[in-house]
């Protein structure tokens, strides 16, 4: 990030690169955003949210870290291959609709049931969640892959 900005003609930005405030805050905010992202994702079926927004927010949490640090540090913190995330996401969003064959229903027919758990009470289980997880992962993975790649291009 530092040298990109420098090359673009922003020499003054350099001073802020090891911005302790930004780095410290981002570590805290990261968890808040990512929790919010997961909350949005799981609540999506009943309240505003869903896989797409959740994925974007999760990606933006990581991008915040990317801006505060750099790609290498980010990879040290969270060592995931974004391509693998995309693959998993695509696999889920293709496999879950196909699995409805096992129930003898047409493609993309979702199944749902309710589960009684000791502490949490009644919890709805929905195969749409898995499909949405595919969306979540693909969106997050693709966004991260693009931005991290373009960011890392200079090195």
Residues in contact with another protein, shown as a per-residue x/- string from 85 to 114 under the rule CB under 8 A = -x--xx--xx--x---xx-xxxxx-x-x--
CB of 13 to another protein, least distance (A): 9
**Cβ neighbours of 137 (radius 10 Å):** 25
Q: Which is nearer to another protein, 12 or 76 (CB)?
A: 12
* Count of residues that interact with another protein, criterion CB under 8 A: 62
Among residues 26, 63, 68, 69, the one that binds another protein under rule CB under 8 A: 63
In the complex, the residues that contact another protein under the rule CB under 8 A are 1, 4-5, 7-10, 40, 44-53, 56-57, 59-60, 63, 66-67, 82-83, 86, 89-90, 93-94, 97, 101-102, 104-108, 110, 112, 124, 126, 128, 131-132, 134-135, 138-139, 141-143, 145-147, 149-151, 153-154
């Amino acid at each position: 990030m530092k040298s990109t900005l420098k090359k673009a003609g922003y020499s003054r930005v350099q001073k802020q690169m090891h911005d302790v405030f930004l780095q410290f805050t981002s570590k805290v905010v990261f968890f808040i955003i990512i929790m919010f992202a997961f909350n949005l994702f799981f609540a999506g079926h009943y309240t505003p949210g869903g896989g797409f927004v959740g994925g974007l927010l999760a990606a933006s949490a990581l991008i915040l870290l990317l801006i505060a640090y750099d790609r290498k540090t980010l990879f040290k913190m969270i060592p995931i291959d974004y391509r693998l995330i995309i693959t998993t996401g695509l696999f889920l969003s293709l496999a879950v609709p196909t699995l409805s064959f096992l129930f003898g229903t047409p493609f993309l027919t979702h199944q749902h049931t309710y589960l009684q758990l000791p502490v949490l009470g009644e919890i709805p289980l929905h195969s749409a969640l898995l499909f949405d997880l595919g969306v979540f992962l693909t969106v997050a993975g693709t966004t991260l892959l693009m931005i991290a790649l373009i960011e890392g291009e200079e090195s």
